Structure 1
Amino acid sequence: MENYQFKFKWLNDQGQPQGFYSKKGHFDGETLVLDTVDLPSAAILDVDYRERTVILSVVGENSEPVHLLFNVTSGSADRLKLMLGRARSRAWARRHKEELASEGRSSEYRDVTCPHCHAVIDLSGFAKTPQVSCEFCHTVSDDQSESFDAPAKGEKKYRLCDECGMFSKPRRFTIFYFYFLLVVYGFSHRQTWRCPGCMRSEAWKMLLGNAIFVLGVPVAIAQLFRAYGGTDVGGKYPGLDSANIKARNGKFQQAIDDYRKILDKQPVAAGVKYNIAMAFLHREDWEGAARMFQYSLTDCANYRPSARGLAACYEHLGETEKLAALKKQWGAKDDEVLLEELPEE
């Protein structure tokens, strides 16, 4: 693997750059070097990025996770995340394979390669299902062949929305406000990734907030057009945006009906069934939610959002044996491992 070099600036807890000059970093396929900090890829628990900002979770003292934030000032944050994902996946898969071999269980090891980011997805202990989830690029892919190397058209864009947490097709969204107060003027600007439903409310706020100063209005109008532009037309799950918006507005039964119409055309859809389960949760129907999370896992056995939701349901319903079995399947040693990101009610 090539030695990828880049420049970066550390960010503080408020997301502000530290220092005036950029520092040097590189990744050789095994170790990520950030100035004077060396991080073996196997010690990096999670990686994500937004625009040029990279967020790392690494193993710290006493095995506690430590979060590191930095801006890539020269180079590509996307490319760095992709390379780290591949390296981490290979290291983790190799370690698990060796562990199973040492226990005389080599035959239990199974993996596939993600068709989108080419990370190794360890599926040991999971049933073979029509879909496979990749935690390194957050996609859910259809297993269309034994080689699993032909991704379905458009599926890469679907994932959980940063804002509402629903399975959707988030897009980059620019939040822009201009202000002018006598002799003082300026603007605020940031970018997020949101689904159309989340984009709409913020776009209207932008339009109203910028109306008095005019200059920010064109950006707000452009974002309104994008939010109402029917992003799922021609997509893999037509009607998903509309169903999600109904769920956001508390019209849960209408949303569930729309989700089921999608399933009539796409019966294998772990993410859509996850959304239905979340709608049941909002109605406090824990048994219905558990059933839908199970259906979601039947489509995609290693889909962690549904596993977390199912664990929450089992805990609420007092299904201790089922919860213990689920935790064992996911290698969870305590409640926090699987329940750390429970869906909100």
Structure 2
Amino acid sequence: MEAMDFKFKWVDDEGQETGFFSKKGSFDGQNLHLDDTEIPVAAFGDVDVRSNRLILSTVGEGGEPIFIVIAVTQGGAGKLKAAIGLARSAVWAQMHREELEKEGRGHEYRKANCPHCGATIDLTGFPQTDQVSCDFCHSIGTLPGTDAAGDSLAALKAENEHRLCDECGMYSKPRKFTIFYFYFLLVIYGWSQRETWRCPACMRPEAWKMLFGNLLFVLGVPVALVQLFRAYGGADVGALYPGLDPANLKARNGNLQSAIADYQKILQKRSVAGGVKYNIGLAFLHDNDIDSAARSFEFALGDCSNYRPAASALLGCYEQLAETENLESLKKQWDVEDDEGG
């Protein structure tokens, strides 16, 4: 690939950009160059973006985790993340394929490309399902050509906007919200502002708090009203999963039966929806119905066999239910090792 040049600033532990001038960076498809630092793409464990912040995780020489955060000031953090994800996914998949071939198991290798970011998804050992989970863009995608894909390209593109909310951990449509407060005390005035990524349902309490907190000084009210409208108004207009936010909110508030009814309405229109079925499992967990939660997570994996959040939750359910055979089978599929002494 052609080298991608960009400019950046280091971000400190307080989340603040350091230095006055931006530094030069580049990515050539194999190595990420950050000023004088060079990191091979295969060394990255995870890459994520929040606004112009690029969050990178790797490991040190002693195996300790290292997190690097930079603010991309020119070149686009999203484009850089996509390029890194595309490259490292191909490297990881090829490394695994070579390992299998050395063991005489090359025929077991299976892959797919993420419908959204194009990353190579290693599906070796997982049953074939209509959906795949991408660890590189953190989305669930319906594979083209499957019965679930249908004819709606717009619907498939809308999947890319859905993922787990940073705040509540439920499958939803998180977006960027601005939290803004203005204050005026005699001759002193000022404001505070920060950005947060969360689903509309999680933003609602903060939006109301922001509105009442700004009423006294008026100037912050317009921003609060905009965020309040975004948290409530139009959340489901033309949505891929109409009613998902209200259902998630009901599930978190313990209104299980009403939440399940809402989820079922969604599934009547779109039956293959691993993320929605994952939320149903979380709803049952919240109600301490472990058996029903396990069955829901199984259904989620039936739609998207490599969906890690559902598999992790299901492992916990199997352990609590003492379903030893299912537990060991799932551990083997996901290469989960038992704790020492366990």
Q: Which category describes the TM-score, using the shorter chain as reference length?
A: over 0.9
Give the count of matched residue pairs.
Answer: 335
1:13 is matched by which residue type in structure 2?
Answer: D
User: Secondary structure of 1:220's match?
Assistant: helix
The correspondence of residues 131-280 of structure 1 with structure 2, limited to 5 A, is 131-145=131-145, 152-280=156-284
User: Secondary structure of 1:127's match?
Assistant: coil
Cα separation, 2, equivalents of 1:176 and 1:88 = 37
Mean CA deviation greater in 195-204 or 242-251: 242-251
Mean CA deviation greater in 37-46 or 237-246: 237-246
Residue 305 of structure 1 deviates from its aligned partner by 0.9
Cα separation, 2, equivalents of 1:72 and 1:276 = 38
CA contact under 8 A between 2:115 and 2:144: conserved in structure 1? no
Residue 237 of structure 1 deviates from its aligned partner by 1.1
Superposed CA RMSD: 1.8
Residue 209 of structure 1 deviates from its aligned partner by 1.0
Matched, 1:295 2:299: yes
- Identify the residue that residue 343 of structure 1 maps to in structure 2: none
Residue 261 of structure 1 deviates from its aligned partner by 1.6
CA contact under 8 A between 2:178 and 2:196: conserved in structure 1? yes
CA contact under 8 A between 1:59 and 1:66: conserved in structure 2? yes
Cα separation, 1, equivalents of 2:77 and 2:3 = 15
Residue 19 of structure 1 deviates from its aligned partner by 2.5
Runs of at least 4 residues off by over 6 Å: none
Cα separation, 2, equivalents of 1:230 and 1:288 = 32
Matched, 1:17 2:8: no
The correspondence of residues 76-95 of structure 1 with structure 2, limited to 5 A, is 76-95=76-95
- Identify the residue that residue 317 of structure 2 maps to in structure 1: 313
Cα separation, 2, equivalents of 1:144 and 1:74 = 34
CA contact under 8 A between 1:169 and 1:232: conserved in structure 2? no
- Identify unmatched segments of 5+ residues in structure 1: 337-345
The correspondence of residues 33-48 of structure 1 with structure 2, limited to 5 A, is 33-48=33-48
1:121 is matched by which residue type in structure 2?
Answer: I
Cα separation, 2, equivalents of 1:296 and 1:120 = 21
Cα separation, 2, equivalents of 1:335 and 1:127 = 26
1:64-107 C-alpha deviation (Å, 9 max, x unpaired): 22111111122200001000000110000000010111111111
CA, structure 1 residues 179+243, in 2 after alignment: closer, same or farther (shift >3 Å)?
Answer: same
Residue 49 of structure 1 deviates from its aligned partner by 0.9
Cα separation, 2, equivalents of 1:3 and 1:216 = 43
Mean CA deviation greater in 326-335 or 293-302: 326-335
CA, structure 1 residues 320+183, in 2 after alignment: closer, same or farther (shift >3 Å)?
Answer: farther
CA contact under 8 A between 1:30 and 1:41: conserved in structure 2? yes
Matched, 1:103 2:107: no
CA contact under 8 A between 2:111 and 2:120: conserved in structure 1? yes
CA, structure 1 residues 248+296, in 2 after alignment: closer, same or farther (shift >3 Å)?
Answer: same
User: Secondary structure of 1:202's match?
Assistant: helix
User: Secondary structure of 2:181's match?
Assistant: strand
1:97-118 C-alpha deviation (Å, 9 max, x unpaired): 1011111111111111112111
Cα separation, 1, equivalents of 2:105 and 2:190 = 63
Residue 325 of structure 1 deviates from its aligned partner by 2.2
Mean CA deviation greater in 189-198 or 318-327: 318-327
TM-score normalised by the chain length of structure 1: 0.93
1:295-341 C-alpha deviation (Å, 9 max, x unpaired): 100010001110111112122233344323222211233569xxxxx
User: Secondary structure of 1:290's match?
Assistant: helix
- Identify unmatched segments of 5+ residues in structure 2: none
1:99 is matched by which residue type in structure 2?
Answer: E
2:46 is matched by which residue type in structure 1?
Answer: D
CA contact under 8 A between 2:181 and 2:191: conserved in structure 1? yes
Cα separation, 2, equivalents of 1:66 and 1:325 = 32
2:320 is matched by which residue type in structure 1?
Answer: H
1:216 is matched by which residue type in structure 2?
Answer: G
Cα separation, 2, equivalents of 1:246 and 1:98 = 47
TM-score normalised by the chain length of structure 2: 0.93
Cα separation, 1, equivalents of 2:86 and 2:25 = 18
